[in-house]
Copies of this chain bind each other. A is one copy, B any other.
Amino acid sequence: MKISFFPSLIFVLLFSSASISQNNVQDSLMLKKIYTAALTEGKSYEWLDYLSNEIGGRLSGSIEAENAVKYTEAQLNELGLDKVWLQPVMVPKWTRGFKEYAYIETAKGEKTITEICALGGSVPTPNLGIKAEVVEVKGLEELALLGKEKVAGKIVFYNRPMRADLIQTFEAYGGCVDQRYSGAAEAAKYGALGVIVRSMTLSRDDYPHTGAMSYGDLPISQRIPAAAISTNGAEYLSSLLKLQPNLLFYFKQNCKTFDDVQSYNVIGEITGSTKPNEYMVVGGHLDSWDLGDGAHDDGAGCVQSMEVLRLFKKVGYKPKHTIRVVLFMNEENGLRGGNKYAEEAKRKGETHRFALESDAGGFTPRGFTIDADTANFNKVQSWNSLFKPYLIHYFEKGYGGADIGPLKGNIDVLAGLRPDSQRYFDYHHAANDTFDAVNKRELELGAATMASLVYLFDKYGTE
């Protein structure tokens, strides 16, 4: 049995190549410090425990979202940042109400209860619910082909599954989510009474997955209720429809939309030593859906972003630029926080150089997607070898993130942390997105990976 007390990583980094630059050595050592601090004295997991287990699901406009604002503001204040404040933003308030109820009724009157949940923003069903025949489609195109004749008076059941053969699960999600987002608006045009959407997950289980939907410009009077059905439920319903095309589906949901309410982005910053008026942002979204406790989506991104600033203090790194953590409110059903932050940045004429978002779960980090010009992208590529000891290999052009998106056009680089995506949609927007599904080390590695990229962009600047 081999005993290796002090592996020689640092020595390898220092002496492996005679041509290694002084900067490179400094950077290697700084990354080592950052990762070590994150893994041995990290605070992200403790914060996430509180956000998840003491506060819980943080739907915009809820008391939990308000508590999360207060808690994270207080925690940022404890870090001894140069400035911590709340940025007011009005947010939508939609509530689920009593738990939804649904069943499948066969011709013989046999009823099978099935798990559903209202989609975020849906109108309720009438008080007595909706019972109707079901028309199953694989997507909006198939719906359009069926037309009014076959759709009117029915419940439309969108059942196109996520593609299991795609390696990046976000790509599979992107290929299905139109059913959830626009399914009700489209079905209403053909006179449907309601829609049931297969949950956006690659897992076969009993959890319905909620998520944002939109009626577009459909008049209020024409809006129909929309719910997600678990993948097990969808498979069952689909198989039963093959046997009994005239079966009935009943569902009742009690959701409600209120007037907008006051909420906040939570912001903290370390003032830059030489470029205090140039900003670099790291963030996630503080709101979540209400079914679970939003540990992966996006409690993880919030605590990782907070940890970036804490790690800089911990390892004694004084950034040149002003480094801001922004915990955005209302990503899930409105993006009001992200829009407000960008709007205020523009209004104040703040110069933003770089923004990094973590909103893909607290899983083992694999790398980043970079939304920037070639010069900046090449710059990131040039840092690849620094990340290799931490098994960070993925540096691709791509989307930064929803909340930092509105900064585009007024910023040099947008970046998104890319954790391993295999398990993400098992939990996404469902009741099992809970703290116990987050691994401490995976979360901490993500925070360290983020801090490392911010460090490098701060030190070398954007192009």
Say yes or no: is A274 at the interface (Cβ < 8 Å to chain B): no
A76 to B2, CA, bound (A): 36
The answer to whether A165 and B441 touch across the interface, beta carbons within 8 angstroms, is no
Say yes or no: is A376 at the interface (Cβ < 8 Å to chain B): no
Contact string against B for A residues 201-218, beta-carbon threshold 8 Å, 1 for contact and 0 otherwise: 011000000000000000
Say yes or no: is A390 at the interface (Cβ < 8 Å to chain B): yes
A167-175, A314-322, A345-353: which one contacts chain B? A167-175
User: Beyond A167-B389, A393-B394, is A174–B439 a contact (Cβ under 8 Å)?
Assistant: no
Counted per complex, copies of this chain come to: 2
Say yes or no: is A166 at the interface (Cβ < 8 Å to chain B): yes
The answer to whether A175 and B4 touch across the interface, beta carbons within 8 angstroms, is yes
The answer to whether B164 and A39 touch across the interface, beta carbons within 8 angstroms, is yes
Say yes or no: is A251 at the interface (Cβ < 8 Å to chain B): no
Say yes or no: is A293 at the interface (Cβ < 8 Å to chain B): no
CB neighbours (8 Å) of A228 from chain B are none
Partner of A175, one of B5, B40, B175, B442: B5
The A19-64 residues at the B interface (CB cut-off 8 A) are: 35-36, 39-40
The answer to whether B174 and A2 touch across the interface, beta carbons within 8 angstroms, is yes
The answer to whether B364 and A1 touch across the interface, beta carbons within 8 angstroms, is no
The answer to whether A203 and B440 touch across the interface, beta carbons within 8 angstroms, is yes
A100-108, A176-184, A298-306: which one contacts chain B? A176-184
A118-126, A336-344, A418-426: which one contacts chain B? A418-426
The answer to whether A441 and B202 touch across the interface, beta carbons within 8 angstroms, is yes
The answer to whether B3 and A178 touch across the interface, beta carbons within 8 angstroms, is yes
Q: Choose among A390, A426, A441, A445 the residue with the greatest number of B CB atoms under 10 Å from its CB.
A: A441
Query: Given contacts A39-B164, A364-B420, A422-B442, could you give 18 more A-B pairs where the C-beta distance is less than 8 Å?
Result: A1-B178, A3-B175, A3-B178, A4-B174, A7-B171, A35-B165, A39-B165, A167-B389, A167-B391, A167-B445, A202-B441, A364-B364, A364-B422, A391-B394, A393-B393, A393-B394, A423-B442, A426-B439
- Can you show 12 pairs from A to B with CB atoms below 8 A apart? A2-B174, A4-B171, A35-B167, A36-B165, A167-B389, A202-B441, A364-B364, A393-B393, A393-B394, A422-B445, A423-B439, A426-B439
